[in-house]
Structure 1
C-alpha cells in the first residue's frame, strides 16, 4: 500500500509535465542585441557558439549572446549565408588531406564565386567540378551539401556520392529567381527563392514538392531556417519574419524590432534574427500561449 503513496504523485507529475509540453506556444520578442560595427548577412551556430558573416566588411565573426565579438576572421570576399558541418568532402591540397572529419565552417563567397572552408582558423576552399556565379547560401547535413547559386538560378547539391544541379530562371514551381539561402533536412531541401517571394521544397532528386509564402505578399525572401516543427522565412523589404508549420500554413508573423532581416537560426527555445540595416541581432523566445481568463 505504501508503494502507491509514491507512485501516484509521480504519475500526476508526469501527466502535468506532458500537458505542459503539449501546451501551444508562440514566439515572443525578448530584446535587441546591438552589433557594434557589424552588418550581418548570415548566422550559424556550433553548439551555443554564434557566428555571423559581415559581407560589407568581408569577415566572419564569433559573438556571444550579448553581441560582443569573441574573435573575427577576415580575408573573405562578400561572405553570405554560412553553415557548419563535417569537412569530409574534397578541399584543396594545402591541408594535405581530402577527407577531414572535424567540423568546419562553410562560407559562400559571393564576390569570389567560391566556398571557403574554415577549420582551426585556417581557410581553404571546396573543390568543385563546376563553376559558381555568386553563391549566396550553403547547407551541410551529414555527408550532403547544397549551395544556392544566385546568378545561375539553381541549387548545386552533393548527395554524399555525386553532385547534381536543379533549377533554372523562371517563376513556375521548381524555377528560381535568385535563390539566396538553402537548408537540407533528413528528407528534403528547402530554398529561399528570394525574388519569386516564396520558399520552395524539393526532394533529394531535385523534384519540387511544394511552394509556400507565395500568397503572403513577401518582398525578398532572403533567409530560411527549418526547425523540427516550423519553417522560418525572412521578408527583407517588409521588415518581418513569417513562421510556417510543416504543412506550409502561416502560424505566426514576427515584426517587433525587425528591420531588414537577412537570416535566422533557432537554438533551443531561442530564435535569433539578423537585422542587416541597423547591425542588430533580435532575440525571440518560445513561450506558452497565455490562456484567456474566463
Structure 2
C-alpha cells in the first residue's frame, strides 16, 4: 500500500512559558500539561473540540469538567463541575462546539448529553430519563435514552446532533433543539453493526465517521444511517481499539486516535493509509483538527494534550 509523503512536525510556539518541560520530544510538542493551579490540572482527558477561533475544549474526564484553552496554550475557563445535578458532569468523554459557541458534552457517567451556552451556563439536557441505577445515574436502551454516551458531533449545517451511544452499541441522532430524530446500529461485527462505539465526526458532505472501538475499525455512514464503508488499516497499521476520530476542514483526511497501539493514524476519506505518529504517547483518546491543520490529541495516560502540526 503506497504512503503519501507527509509528516507530523513540531508546532512552532512563541510562548514557551505555557509549554511543559520537554523531554525527548522528537517531532512532537506537549501543551497544557504544566499545572499552575487546580484549574489547569488534567485527570484523564478524553474528547476534544475546537471552536471557530481555534480555542480548544477538553473533556477532563477525571475532574468532571470541560477545560477551555486558547489556541496558543493559555487557560481560558472551565465549564461544569463534578456531580450529577444539572450543569454538573460525571466522567465527560467528549465535547462539541457550535458556530455560535454553544457547547455540547457527552456526560458519559450521567448517561446524557448536556448543553451549555457560550459563557458556560447550563442550557438543557438531551436524553430522556432511563432506568434508574444507583451510582450509575439514569441509563436505558429505549429511544432517546443513553447508556454511557462517549461521542458527540454536529452535522455540517448544525441541524442535527450525532451521539455515539456506546453502551447500547448504536448511534442516535437528535435535532438541534434536542428532539430525537432517528437511530441506527446494533451490536455485532458485520458491516453496519458496532461494538462500543466511541468517537464520532462528520465530513463536509455529512457522512458520519464512527470509531467502532471493540471491532478495531472506523465505519462511515450517511446521516440517515446507511452503511458506506469500513476503514481498518492494513499491515502494520491495523487499528486496535480506536477511540477518537476527526475530519479535516476540507474533508480530505481523517485522523484517528489508535488507542490500543498508542498512536495517531491518518487516512484519506476513502480509507487509504497516509501517515502515523508513534512518539511518546499513552492511550490516546480524543482527537480534533483545527483551522491551522494541527492534529490535537488527548494523551490520556499521561494526562496532557499534544499538538501535532500536519504538513503536506
**In structure 2, what is the equivalent of residue 225 of structure 1?**
246
Distance in 1 (CA, whole Å) between partners of 2:92 and 2:111 is 10
**In structure 1, what is the equivalent of residue 104 of structure 2?**
106
Query: What does the per-residue CA deviation read over 1:46-91, in whole Å, with 9 as the maximum and x for residues that have no partner?
Result: 12211101111101111234544322122311111110126xxxxx
Return closer, same or farther for 1:150/1:48 CA change in 2, 3 Å cut-off. same
Query: What does the per-residue CA deviation read over 1:81-116, in whole Å, with 9 as the maximum and x for residues that have no partner?
Result: 110126xxxxxxxxxxxxxxx430000111111111
Return closer, same or farther for 1:124/1:159 CA change in 2, 3 Å cut-off. closer
Give the TM-score, by structure 2 length. 0.75
Do residues 240 (structure 1) and 270 (structure 2) align? no
- Matched ranges for 1:109-124 at <5 A: 109-119=107-117, 120-124=119-123
**In structure 1, what is the equivalent of residue 168 of structure 2?**
152
**RMSD value over aligned CA atoms?**
2.1
* Higher Cα Rg, which structure: 1
Question: How far 1:128 sits from its partner (Å)?
Answer: 4.0
Distance in 1 (CA, whole Å) between partners of 2:293 and 2:280 is 19
Secondary structure of residue in 2 paired with 1:82: strand
Do residues 41 (structure 1) and 60 (structure 2) align? no
- Matched ranges for 1:58-97 at <5 A: 58-65=64-71, 67-73=73-79, 74=81, 75-85=88-98
Secondary structure of residue in 2 paired with 1:147: strand
Query: What does the per-residue CA deviation read over 1:150-193, in whole Å, with 9 as the maximum and x for residues that have no partner?
Result: 11000001367961110000011101110011112223111010
Question: How far 1:278 sits from its partner (Å)?
Answer: 0.7
Secondary structure of residue in 2 paired with 1:195: helix
Distance in 1 (CA, whole Å) between partners of 2:241 and 2:261 is 8
What residue ranges of structure 1 are gaps of 5+ in the alignment? 1-22, 87-101, 289-294
Secondary structure of residue in 1 paired with 2:206: coil
**In structure 2, what is the equivalent of residue 207 of structure 1?**
226
What residue ranges of structure 2 are gaps of 5+ in the alignment? 10-26, 36-40, 82-87, 129-143
Aligned pairs, number: 251
